[in-house]
Structure 1
Amino acid sequence: MSHPTPDGSLSAPGPLAAVLDRVGIPRSLALGYLALGLFMIGDGVEQGYLSAMLVGNGFGQSEVALMFTIYGITAGVSAWMAGALSDVFGPKRLMLAGSIIWVLFHVPFVAFGIAGQSTSVLLLCYGLRGFGYPLFAYGFLMWVVRTVRQERLGMAVGWFWFAYIAGFSTLSPLVAMRSSR
């Protein structure tokens, strides 16, 4: 027999479904929360070591600082635009676009910017890559807001912020520490 999920869909009960229901995670969004947490772990691990690694590989401190400044500006603009773009293209497409942007600019950032010791490629690709994670993350937030019933929305948004912060601020330092050993 099917049972209603917190987000209003119907699903067969199971042990994982029961746990998700109990803690207030909409089943239809559970993988999205996991993906958000993983995305933010990656972003946090990178923030912890990238500056020192780049300086250690011959890039100047001012170049690295400029790179992070450009990234912050593009990430801020992307976060600001995410709600409107979600209305135009839909949250799932926005998440896909964010993922594609991130990968599309990460590859040349590593291959030509870092490995090729090119400051201009480093600045361009890392800066443009800054558009990726906010489109993914805030596209997912818009999906949560559009999907979850009003009486469960506060809990669902709380889980969004839990996955975001747990990935970026809590688990990423642990992952970075483990990988540096």
Structure 2
Amino acid sequence: MGATTGLLTHYFPSKRALLRHALEVLDRRSADRPRPAAERAGAASGLVMLRATLLDILPLDAESAASNRIWVASWDVALADPELAREHAERYRRARERKARHIAEAQELGELPPGPRADDTAAAAQSFVLGLVVQALFAPQDFPAERQIALVDEYLAGMGGGGTGASGQVG
């Protein structure tokens, strides 16, 4: 980082405070990340949005890989710190709720078959993609961006969501 320990301790009295700040920055970056035009215009819905949400989590480039390393590294600290654990649990709960809304919408649109509860399907999708994050971080040579995207598309197809075309549109 090019910063001395003294400089860091001036702004962050503990490692926990530094980690909390880093996670807040990552949350803001994720929320502020440029989105495809269709999503910004509200034209994207259902399965297209679910796919975009899943892809948004993955370490598809150097910046997102670095962000994911911070997230994964924070798990160990959060497991030992009840307050951080609650914050992580809340972040993951909100993420599952977003996915569940996209899944329910995809079911309503006929893009996914009716069946399992949307929140259960969202929990499974989130678990799949977080597992893929871990594999891609530990073996990036085995999980380049193209393969990660293909695996997400196969996962969605297995849900009954068809596949995606070259444009990245589900259908």
Q: Output the TM-score relative to the length of structure 2.
A: 0.33
User: Looking at CA atoms only, which structure, 1 or 2, has the larger radius of gyration?
Assistant: 1
With CA pairs under 8 Å and 6+ residues apart, which has the higher RCO, 1 or 2? 1
